[in-house]
Amino acid sequence: MSLFLIVYALVLLLIAFLSFREIGSFQKFILADRNQPKILIIASMLASTIGGGLTIGTVNKAYLLGFPAFWFVASGAIAHLTQGLFLSEKVRKTEALTLPDLAAKLSSPQVGRLTGIIIVLTWTGIAGAQFLALSKVITTITGLGHMEAIIAGASFLVIYTVMGGQRSILKSDFLQFGLLAISLIIAVGWLFTARPVAFGSLGISLFSPKFTPSDLLYYLVVVAGSYLICPMMFGRILSSDSAKSARTASFVSAAGMLLFAFVITAFGLWARASSFNPGSSDPLNAMISGVFPPILGFLMTFGILAAILSTADTVLLTAASVLEHDVIQGDSLYRTQTWVGVIGFFAAFVALFQTDIVDLLLRTYQGYTSGIVPALFVAIVLYGRKRVRPAFLFAAIFSGYLLGFTGSFLSSSALQKDFAFAGILISALVSFVGIERKPRLQ
C-alpha cells in the first residue's frame, strides 16, 4: 500500500500545483474568489467536519462507551442545522474575510484581534489532533514509528496547503469526501452482513454508566458550539457564490453529518458487541488490518486518510490566515504561507505527546466554545438590527474563554464540564447585558 500512498500524495500535489497558478493574492488564497458552487461547499463542509480525528476517535469512543459516542458527530449535525436557520445568510452577506474579521465588523478591531488570538491557539491544537490521527494511518500503511509518521504527515500537509490554498482544498475535498463516504458505507454494510452480531448486543441507548445526561449536555453545548461558530465552516460560507447557497450548504451538511453519525458509531458498536480485541491499536485501524478483507481494508485505509487530509489542510489554512489578517493585521500571501509552516511545526510537536484524539479535541474546543460561541452567536443574530457594545462583547469572549480553558486542565471530568458551562453562561449573559437598546441603523 505504500506505493498507492505515494501515488495518492502525488495526485493531491498535482491539484495543489494547478491551483497555485490561480492564487495571486491573499484573498484568493483563503477564499478562492468567493465564487465556489454549492456542491463544492457542501462536500468541503462535510469533508472538513467528518475528519479522520473525528472518525477514528468516535469509533474508539463507541467501543468504550457504546452508542452515546453517536453524539460526538450528531452534535455537529444539530449545529449545522442551527447555523442554516440563523447564521449562514447573514455571515455571507457581511463580505468578511475570516471569522475574526466578522467579529471586528460586528463590534470593534479589539474584539476581532482577541477572537483571532483564541482561534490561532485553538486551531493549532486541532491540527495536532489531526496529525495524531494521520500518524496512525501512516503507521498502518508503512510501518513507520509514531514520530516519523507525524513528521512525514505534517510535512506533506504543510507543502500541500502552502501550494494550493483554499481553491485546491475545495477541489480535493470533493474527491476525498466521495472516497470517505463510499468506503464507510461499503465497509459498514459488509461488517453487518458478512460478520453479523445480534442486534440486542449493540446496546442502543442514549446513556450508559460511563455517559450520563451531563455528558450529553456537554456534547450538545461544547462540541456543537465548535461547529456552530466555526472559522473553518465560516470560511466555506464566505467562499460560496451566494448567501442562499451558503444556507443550503449548511442544511445539507447537517443531514450528511446525521447520517454519518450512525455509520461511524456502528463500527465501534460492532467491535464492542463482537468482543473484538484491538490490542494496542485503536479499534478502527485494528479492524482494517484484522477484520476486513484486503480490498475493503485498502479502501477503508484510504478513506480514513482522505478524511484526515481534508480536515487538516483546512485547519492549517484557517489558523494561518487568521494569524496574518486578524492578529498581525496584514494581508501578505507569502507571510500567510510561512505561517502555515510555523503552525504545522507547533501542531506536530503537540501530536508527539498525545495519544487520545477525542480527548485532545475536547480540551482544545472547550475554551473556544465557552468564550467565542455564545458571544458571537448573539452578535450575529442581532446583525442589522442591534449590536452588543464592543466593551461588553470583548469581556464576554475573554471571561468565557478563560473559564473554559482553565477548566480543560482540571483533573476532574465533572469540574471540567462545570467550568465549560460557567464560561458559556457568563459569555452569554455579558453579551445580553451589553446589547444596545436603541435599534441600529444600517
Burial (Cβ within 10 Å: 0-12, 13-18, ≥19) of residue 107: buried
pLDDT value for 209: 85
Show Cβ contacts of residue 95 under 8 Å, excluding neighbours closer than 6 positions.
Answer: 238
Query: Tens digits of per-residue pLDDT, 75-118?
Result: 999 999 999 999 999 999 999 999 999 999 999 999 999 999 99
Instruction: For 36, list phi and psi in degrees, rounded to 5.
Output: -80, 135
Nearest to 188 by CA among 266, 245, 106, 126: 266
Helix (H/G/I), strand (E/B), else coil: 329: coil
pLDDT value for 442: 47
pLDDT value for 130: 86
pLDDT value for 441: 47
Alpha-carbon gap, residue 366 to 376, rounded angstroms = 16
Alpha-carbon gap, residue 249 to 253, rounded angstroms = 6
pLDDT value for 164: 93
To the nearest 10 degrees (0 to 180), the angle between helices 109-142 and 333-352 is: 60
Q: Taking the domains of the chain in order of start, what are their residue ranges?
A: 2-365
* CATH topology assigned to domain 2-365: Sodium/glucose cotransporter (1.20.1730)
pLDDT value for 429: 98
Q: Which residue is it, cell 457504546?
A: 66
pLDDT value for 52: 67
pLDDT beneath 70, residues of the chain: 52-53, 355-362, 438-442
Query: Tens digits of per-residue pLDDT, 301-354?
Result: 999 898 889 889 999 999 999 999 999 999 999 999 999 999 999 999 988 887
pLDDT value for 411: 87
Averaged pLDDT of the chain? 92
Query: Tens digits of per-residue pLDDT, 60-79?
Result: 999 999 999 999 899 999 99
Strand partners, 36: 240
Alpha-carbon gap, residue 58 to 68, rounded angstroms = 10
Record the pTM: 0.89
Show Cβ contacts of residue 199 under 8 Å, excluding neighbours closer than 6 positions.
Answer: none
pLDDT value for 370: 95
pLDDT value for 355: 64
pLDDT value for 67: 95
